Amino acid sequence: MGHYGAGDGVTMKGSSSRWAFSLGFLVGACSIYFFLRQVWFERSYPVLSEAQERTTAVSERPTSWRKEGAALVNRLHPHHADEDSRVADVLYQKVRILCWVMTGPYNLKSRARHVRATWSRHCNVVVFMSSEEDPDFPTVGLGTKEGRDQLYWKTIRAFHYVYEHHASEADWFLKADDDTYVVVDNLRWILSNHTPEEPIYFGKRFKPYTKQGYMSGGAGYVLSKEALKRFVEGFRTKVCSHTTHVEDLALGQCLEKMGVLAGDSRDTLLRETFHPFVPEHHLTGKFSKSFWYWSYCYYPIGPQCCSDLAVSFHYVEAELMYTLEYYTYHLRAYGYRPRYRPSVRLGLSHGPLSQTAGRAGPKGVQEVTDGRSRTTSAFLVSVNQTKAETEPEKREKDNLISRATENKTAVTLGRHL
Amino acid sequence: MLSEGGSFMKGMVMGGLFCLLLSLLGSFRPGTEPKTEDHNHHHVKAPSKDELTKLSDSRVQELSNQVRVSCIIMVQPKFLVYWATALDTWSKHCDKAVFYTSESSKALEAIDLNEKDDWARLRKALRHAFENAGDLQWFFVAQPTTFAIIENLKYLVLAKDPSEPFYLGNVKKSGELEYVAYDSGIVLSYEALKRLVHVFQDEDKCPERGRALWKLSEDKQLAVCLKFTGVFAENGEDAHGKGLFNSKGVNSLISESMKDNPNNVVEGCCSDMAVTFSG
């Protein structure tokens, strides 16, 4: 601000006032202009993509559930309109899975709801198990209380409920938490090499406290129909009882007593498929050597994480549920034919498709050794076939596909690494 | 003395108000954000399935082989973790991936441009990439926090002619300028890059050190320079019109979708053939 000499004349004062005013005006205008420019004019706006311009509200998917009491029965196996999901569809018919989800009244909105909207749509039947009944969601009321100490009670009652009400509707019975994400189609691939008459169950195998190991509760586990039968039988004959609230261990011990085998759920490269943590944790986390996990893993030696055909992850929150759904069923890298393609004449193929217990032969998917192949050239197929698949053969093959088929891969971003 | 001070203050206030008034009136000018103008900017779409089925298998194969991408990844030692990650992951899918850094790092190799100014550095990198292009016809510029699926990028430009000028990505508008956002990746065809390198020599149109009092960000500078050569920013979209270049990460996009379309979170979120995520 100018300091003018006090001794200036009157006229000087008048014009200097005007000068001061003009100067002030200029300064004010300019500073406001620059300020506005930074804040307002130069702001960037995203240019709307055509989809956004059309502002078509994303139409609501028609529900494909049929409510049957407290169970949701899936009428449509979800898949993209222009995706070839014939193998997945066939497996859906042949390997029927009932999923029951352990939840509670306070978790319906924050967790179970998202399970219902995402992966559970790929089960043949899904039942949400809670301590209280909720006819709208719907959930079954198990008549227990809530809390960690109720977990085994809930599990026992849930399996009994499922056995009583839905035994004929499925071949395999999966238990998951409301923060477990399951890629049900990959689970069908693992189970397709077994029959529901086998007394066997699968999951993330842990070592301690048992002879044959037991399956982690959080990562989810799946029982064959025979295994479920024996579990229920065990309680009837009092061979099994509520020994502890540590649900996964207790169940494992009961099943061991009842002669149910703890299966090996690893893929053909010996990578784990059921995971007790989120993908990020398994992929990038450096578990310290003293971390309990290492002493619990039944198969500590080997690649560990994570199969291309991963089945489950745990501690998955709402946002990650949708993110995983996006990665598993939507996001694709152009130009890759699915690695795992059903072999042409499966039933008729010969010899060294040896059936070792658990994995093998028809499930012996040919892992593509040339992982960097980027073009759309035909990939190699399965163990004994040398010729690549062609369209018309696919149609005939559908009839030949029996239990042991190779499934279309659930490609995740992980495959690029 | 006091009266001058007072006049000055009065003047300032008047000036400020005057300016504010003018700009407010100015913004109510009809036609600032008209719907019709929006359709003037371009959308570049990926080929739809139908388009591809019209071409023979061998033709598609031919095109796939022809499209080759040179990746230009601008890094700095302070983003070492991202640098290493890009090196380990997506950059392996580029036909050629070159890392350009502001200063060299002992840990990782890159072309050290020894240039602190972001715009000048970008210019140098682009010029270097152009001069060493070989037979690569497409150029993808990324930042350390960009994750790109190069196969989907190739699909987007599968049937496009690189001797035409293409400048693609996630288009934003600032004032009158439409530009491609830096963090979600910038795609340039050979022709576009050629014109760009040419206009670099013109100090009037495309000054090296920027001329405004405050600096324009490099992505805007790039758009200005390209505009002088007749190349305009175009939004990369899939066959359904969904944007392929994302300035946010998948988590953020899913979060937003959970709020905006709670009944259709995944479909309402991102394209199946997204090219980039960022942030």
Per-residue pLDDT averaged across B195-220, rounded? 80
Chain A positions touching B214 (Cβ under 8 A) are: 38
Question: How would you classify the pairing of strands B138-142 and B186-189?
Answer: antiparallel
Whether A378 shows a pLDDT value over 50: the answer reads no
Question: pLDDT > 90: what percent of chain B?
Answer: 50
Q: Who's near A50: CB < 8 A, 6+ residues apart?
A: B43, B45, B235, B237, B241
Highest mean pLDDT among A299-303, A372-376, B152-156: B152-156
Task: Assess A23–B contact: CB distance below 8 Å, yes or no.
Answer: yes
- Taking each helix axis from N to C end, the angle separating A86-94 and A391-400, rounded to the nearest 10 degrees, works out to 0
**Integer-rounded Cα radius of gyration of chain A:** 30
Residue B174 to chain A, least CA–CA distance (Å): 4
Q: Which helix (H) or strand (E) holds B148?
A: strand B147-148
Contact criterion met (CB < 8 Å) for A29 and B243: no
- Cα torsion B39, B44, B49, B55: sign: positive
What does the pLDDT average to over B83-94? 93
**Architecture of domain B42-245 in this structure:** Alpha-Beta Complex (3.90)
Smallest CA-to-CA distance from A337 within B151, B16, B230 is with B151
Domain boundaries, chain B: 42-245
Weakest mean pLDDT among A88-102, A108-122, A382-396, B145-159: A382-396
Which of B8, B64, B269 is facing A21, going by the closest CB pair? Answer: B8
ipTM of the complex as predicted: 0.80
Q: How far apart are CA A179 and CA A246, in angstroms?
A: 18
B247 vs A44: which has the higher pLDDT: B247
CB contact under 8 A, B264 and A318: no
Share of chain A above pLDDT 90, in %: 47
Contact A21 B10 (CB under 8 A): yes
Distance (Å, rounded) from C-alpha A44 to C-alpha A38? 11
pLDDT for residue B241 is more than 80: yes
Pick from A17, A53, A336: CB nearest B38? A53
Sign of CA dihedral B124, B172, B164, B204: negative
- Residues contacting residue A205 through CB under 8 Å, at least 6 positions apart: A213, A214, A215, A216, A262, A264, A265, A297, A298, A299
The pLDDT of B80-84, averaged and rounded, is 91
Position B207 pLDDT exceeds 70: yes
pLDDT band at B246 (very low <50, low <70, confident <90, very high): very high
A349 in Cβ contact with A400 (< 8 Å): no
Between residues 66 and 95 of chain B, which touch chain A (CB distance below 8 Å)? Answer: 88-90, 92-93
What angle do helix axes A225-236 and A247-257 make, rounded to 10 degrees? 90
Closest CA to B184 of B256, B104, B252: B252
Q: If you classify domain A65-329 with CATH, what class do you get? A: alpha beta
pLDDT of residue A73: 83
Question: Is A273 part of the contact surface with chain B (CB cutoff 8 Å)?
Answer: no
Q: Do B4 and A375 touch (CB under 8 A)?
A: no
Closest C-alpha to A27, from A1, A47, A46:
A1
CB distance from A284 to chain B under 8 Å?
A: no
- CB contact residues (below 8 A), chain B span 205-264, against chain A: 214, 235, 237, 240-243, 247, 250-251, 254-255, 257-258, 261, 263-264
Q: What is the CA radius of gyration of chain B?
A: 22
The ranges assigned to domains in chain A are: 65-329
Tokens 């994480």 identify what position? Answer: A305
Return the minimum-mean-pLDDT range out of A106-115, A407-416, B20-29. Answer: A407-416
Band of residue B179 on the pLDDT scale cut at 50, 70, 90: very high
Task: Specify the amino acid at residue A31.
Answer: S
- Smallest Cβ distance to B254: which of A19, A29, A326? A326
**Interface residue A27 vs chain B (CB under 8 A):** yes
Q: How confident is the model at residue A336 (pLDDT cuts 50, 70, 90)?
A: confident
Query: Angle formed by the axes of helices B250-260 and A318-329, to 10°?
Result: 110
Choose the weakest-confidence range: A286-290, B132-136, B211-215: B211-215
Sign of CA dihedral A194, A197, A200, A201: positive
**H or E, element range at B235:** strand B234-237
Using the Cβ of A9 and the Cβ atoms of chain B, whether some distance falls under 8 Å is answered with: no
Q: Scanning every residue of chain A, which has its alpha carbon at the shortest distance from the alpha carbon of B7?
A: A21
What average pLDDT score do residues A308-320 get? 94
Task: Report the C-alpha gap between A135 and A143 in whole angstroms.
Answer: 15
Q: Which has the minimum average pLDDT: A23-37, A38-52, A301-315, B87-101?
A: A38-52
Contacts of A316 in chain B (CB under 8 A): none
State mean pLDDT over B60-76: 89
Closest to B104 in 3D by CA, of B96, B95, B114? B114
Min Cα separation B84/chain A (Å): 13
Residue A250's CB is within 10 A of a number of other CB atoms, namely: 22
pLDDT of residue B153: 94
Of B46-50, B171-175, B179-183, give the range with the top mean pLDDT: B179-183
User: In chain B, how long is the greatest CA-to-CA distance?
Assistant: 87
Contact A308, A339 (CB under 8 A): yes
End-to-end CA distance of chain A: 65
Would you call A1 and B5 a contact, using CB atoms and an 8 Å cutoff? yes
A391 contact B CB<8A: no
| Closest chain A C-alpha to B47 CA, distance in angstroms | 12
pLDDT band (50, 70, 90) for residue A104: very high
Tokens, residue B117: 């100014």
- Which of the pair, A55 or A231, is modelled with greater confidence? A231
pLDDT of residue B210: 58
Tokens representing residue A105 in the block:
């009244």
Least confident of A19-33, A162-176, B172-186: A19-33
User: Does B274 lie at the interface with A, CB-CB under 8 angstroms?
Assistant: yes
For residues B87-98, average pLDDT: 93
Q: What is the pLDDT of residue B223?
A: 93
Record the tokens describing residue B153, joined without a space. 């990028």
Answer for the pair B52, B75: CB distance below 8 angstroms, yes or no: no
Residue B85: both structure tokens together = 């990650």
Measured CA to CA, the distance from residue B170 to residue B276 in angstroms comes to 9
Mean pLDDT in chain A?
Answer: 76
- The residue among A279, A4, A130 whose CA lies nearest residue B251 is A279
pTM above 0.90, yes or no: no
Q: Is the pLDDT of residue B258 over 60?
A: yes
Contact between chains at B93 and A416 (C-beta distance less than 8 A): yes
Mean pLDDT of chain B: 86
Residue A382 has pLDDT above 50, yes or no: no
For residue range B9-58, list pLDDT tens digits in order. 888 888 888 888 887 776 654 433 433 344 455 788 888 777 777 778 88
- Distance to chain B for A129, nearest Cα, Å: 22
- CA of residue A141 relative to chain centroid, distance: 25
**Shortest CA gap B246–chain A (Å):** 11
Q: Which of B130, B158, B134, B124 is nearest to B238 (CA)?
A: B158
Q: What is the pLDDT of residues A39-84, one digit of tens each?
A: 766 667 777 776 666 655 555 455 677 887 788 888 777 776 667 7
Q: Are A197 and A222 in contact (CB under 8 A)?
A: no
pLDDT at site A17: 80
Compare all CA atoms of chain A with the CA of B37 and give the residue at the minimum distance: A47
Binary contact (A27, B11; C-beta < 8 A) = yes
Smallest CA-to-CA distance from A82 within B274, B55, B57, B240 is with B240
* CA distance linking residue B274 with residue B238, whole number of Å: 8
- What pLDDT does A179 receive? 96
